Amino acid sequence: MREAYHKELAAIGDGLVDMTRQVASAMSRATHSLLEADERTALAVVQGDRAVDRRRQELEDRAVALLARQQPVATELRIVVTALRMGAEVERSGDLARHVAELALMRHPVSAVPVELRATVRDMGALAYQLMSQAADVIASRDPEEAARLQQADDQMNQLHRAVFARLGEADWPHGIETAVDVALTARYYERYADHAASLAGRVVYLVTGRHPHPEGSLVLTP
């Protein structure tokens, strides 16, 4: 019975890793659609987010069923509860990728990003993909040291975010309010996405050590 229980725990973890990789790919494709005004790719990202939502629900149902059937010890309970929270976090990350794709659709057939900010947004997209891919690796490996490195890498996204807002605040901004709002939203989506990747890493630290990586003991992010 316990062997079957642990196999089910492993299957939930594998599903979470796959879901995280799916969300990383979604953000990469969303970035491409935004910069290149690629309507087909943007539509695929928006439609694919439904699959992420279904996957999260399936994982949640399996975890709840596992809790109902078994009486997990403290470590096992921590694994299941952490997996539930991670699933919710990955789903929110998928929503952010969808938002980027939706912005691409809204401004199609032109790009929502002005030429002088395209390189910065491309860097933000590439970093977002890298961080979420690393989050998937960390979930799979449960390596707290790699998790800590991922959390530190989140600072790079914060620097890019600040660079975008510095440009928006310059007196010679020539693109109008609508474009400024588009760019501000885009930067915010990437920043929140990176925060979720870092939070996933923090949850791995808690999963392995039983200790929260922050003094306040909370890793919960607002959507």
pLDDT tens digits for range 34-47: 999 999 999 999 99
> Rounded to an integer, what distance in angstroms lies between the CA atom of residue 162 and that of residue 154?
13
pLDDT at 153: 86
pLDDT at 2: 65
**Domain assignment present for 40:** yes
Q: How confident is the model at residue 78 (pLDDT cuts 50, 70, 90)?
A: confident
**Domain assignment present for 223:** no
Task: Show the domain range for 185.
Answer: 2-209
> Rounded to an integer, what distance in angstroms lies between the CA atom of residue 223 and that of residue 204?
20
pLDDT at 15: 94
Would the pLDDT of 219 be above 90? no
Rounded to two decimals, the pTM is 0.90
**Domain assignment present for 159:** yes
**Domain assignment present for 218:** no
**Domain assignment present for 155:** yes
**Domain assignment present for 219:** no
Q: How confident is the model at residue 140 (pLDDT cuts 50, 70, 90)?
A: very high
Task: Report the number of distinct structural domains present in the chain.
Answer: 1
- Identify the CATH number of the domain in which residue 77 sits: 1.20.58.220
**Domain assignment present for 215:** no
Tens digit of pLDDT for each residue in 191-209? Answer: 999 999 999 999 999 888 8
Q: What is the mean pLDDT of residues 164-184?
A: 95
Q: Among residues 157, 30, 156, 153, which one has the least CA distance to residue 95?
A: 30
> Rounded to an integer, what distance in angstroms lies between the CA atom of residue 120 and that of residue 31?
11
pLDDT at 223: 37
Residue 172's SS3 state is: coil
Q: How confident is the model at residue 93 (pLDDT cuts 50, 70, 90)?
A: very high
Would the pLDDT of 48 be above 80? yes
Q: Which residues does 144 contact at the CB level (< 8 Å), separation at least 6? A: 204, 205, 208, 209
> Rounded to an integer, what distance in angstroms lies between the CA atom of residue 174 and that of residue 195?
30
> Rounded to an integer, what distance in angstroms lies between the CA atom of residue 197 and that of residue 194?
5
- For all residues of the chain together, what is the average pLDDT? 90
pLDDT at 29: 98
